[in-house]
Amino acid sequence: MGLKFRAYAGEEMARALRARLDAACALYNALRSADAEAYRERGKGLTQYELRTLALRLRREHDEFRALFSQVAQQVADRFYEAKERFFEGLARFPRAKKPHRYYSLVYPQHGWKVLDVRPIRSGKKRMMRIRFSNLGEFDVLVHRDFPLDEVARVIVKMNRAGEIYVIFYVEGFNPYTPLPSTGKVGGIDVGIEKLIATSDGQYAPNPRIYERALVRLRRLQRELSRKQRGSRRRLKVKRRLARAHERVANIRRDLYLKLGKILAELYDLVVMEDIDVKELIGKSYRSQRRRLHDVSFHELRAMIEYQMRKYGKEFAAVDPKDTSRTCARCGYVREDLTLGDRVYVCPACGWTADRDYNAALNILARTGRGPPVVPVELRPLPLPTEWQGGAMSREAPRL
Ligand SMILES: [Zn+2]
């Protein structure tokens, strides 16, 4: 499990980190080109070993890459190789060339980093850890949780779009969180646009449309940015503000998803969701709903729910998403004519009438082989904090 802490560094260190990230990105793209060339020449791409060797050679031969710690350079090769593997397993598209602002972490294995000292700060449990990374420099990490430092398998240094730095320690098989008590219950969870999630017990969370609500501001900043002269100080200022605005949207969303995940971990011992391909869903939807789909970010929502379930000692499973919305949860009839606009599922075969998302959640649960009770329910909201209860335009919703 990864333990993520905020890290602090001076302007100079931040610049150094940014330069290393750019170098890692350039190395990734160089390896990608070499792989494509190998494919053209001999009909197969580079092996993991060849990629690692090439990464080290490029590092030796080019000043640009020499700034990277050797094992960090090897890890860049591994990252490309793993992305390629996912493509061959049919799980992702072929890895594209990375743009510098999309490449934002350096991975250090067991070596290349050293804790210099740890000191308590004022009262409380928090401590400040001084850590040095080879070929990079020193950072102050605000540690708010204990973990076995000698069992750390790798450390990741990360910088987000707003320039905030994080250090993540990965400790194999270590979970610092206290498991939540078992409830003996299994929940099927449907994810959607109208309702963010619906459970097989008939509970739901509305979709607060965080991105959509922030869009006016984001667009305004984007327009402002395009009016500013390239390379000017004002442009840089607006650019930073835009990055912070994006980061704020991401933070609020992450916070909501984590809250939801925790609620589900309290309710269920096992949560079942769809193994869904967002792109497939988007392709089928209308234009106006496309943005809302982006707003939900299914991938992130599922990842956060899985993370929370495991963190609290619970289980997570994904099932085949085919026809979960179109199938009648009571008799199994498949309604081919169901559209995204149909909010209520009415079965022409058996007369079952239920909220569309509740029906889908029941089907998702049934795919684990467990027969849920298929009964009509009154939908009720999940116990989220009030600011998330109101849905789209709640006045109390967090300001964006
Ligand atoms: Zn039916």
Q: What is the 3-state secondary structure of 217-270?
A: HHHHHHHHHHHCCCCCHHHHHHHHHHHHHHHHHHHHHHHHHHHHHHHHHHHCCE
CA 363 to chain centre: 26
Nearest Cα neighbor of 207 from 399, 390, 370 is: 390
CA 89 to chain centre: 20
**Separation of 20 CA from ligand 1 center, angstroms?**
58
| pLDDT tens figures, 318-370 | 888 888 889 999 999 999 888 878 889 999 999 999 999 999 999 999 988 87
Q: For residue 283, what pLDDT band results from cuts at 50, 70 and 90? A: very low
pLDDT at 368: 84
Contacts 24+ apart (CB under 8 A), 157-160: 157/7, 157/17, 157/105, 157/106, 157/108, 157/133, 158/104, 158/105, 158/106, 159/14, 159/17, 159/18, 159/21, 159/104, 159/105, 160/104, 160/247
**Separation of 198 CA from ligand 1 center, angstroms?**
20
Q: What is the pLDDT averaged over residues 33-41?
A: 93
**Which residues have beta carbons under 5 A from ligand 1 (an ion)?**
328, 330-331, 333, 347, 349-350, 352
**Separation of 273 CA from ligand 1 center, angstroms?**
22
| pLDDT tens figures, 181-228 | 999 999 999 988 888 899 999 999 988 888 878 888 889 998 998 898
**Separation of 196 CA from ligand 1 center, angstroms?**
25
pLDDT at 30: 94
**Separation of 331 CA from ligand 1 center, angstroms?**
4
Under a CB-based contact definition with an 8 Å cutoff, are residues 203 and 357 in contact? Answer: no
**Separation of 46 CA from ligand 1 center, angstroms?**
52
How are the residues of the chain apportioned to helix, strand and coil, as percentages rounded to the nearest 5?
Answer: 45, 20, 35
**Separation of 375 CA from ligand 1 center, angstroms?**
12
Is residue 127 classed as helix, strand or coil in its secondary structure? Answer: strand
More confident residue, 344 or 281: 344
**Separation of 325 CA from ligand 1 center, angstroms?**
12
| Beta pairing partners, 107 | 156
pLDDT at 22: 92
**Separation of 345 CA from ligand 1 center, angstroms?**
9
Cβ neighbours around 98 below 10 Å, total = 20
**Separation of 346 CA from ligand 1 center, angstroms?**
8
**Separation of 134 CA from ligand 1 center, angstroms?**
63
Cβ neighbours around 349 below 10 Å, total = 12
**Separation of 364 CA from ligand 1 center, angstroms?**
16
Under a CB-based contact definition with an 8 Å cutoff, are residues 163 and 22 in contact? Answer: no
* Angle (CA) 359 361 367, round 5°: 105
How far apart, in whole angstroms, are the C-alpha atoms of residue 186 and residue 189? 10
Is residue 297 classed as helix, strand or coil in its secondary structure? Answer: coil
pTM greater than 0.75 (yes/no) = no
| pLDDT tens figures, 97-115 | 887 766 678 999 888 999 9
**Separation of 355 CA from ligand 1 center, angstroms?**
13
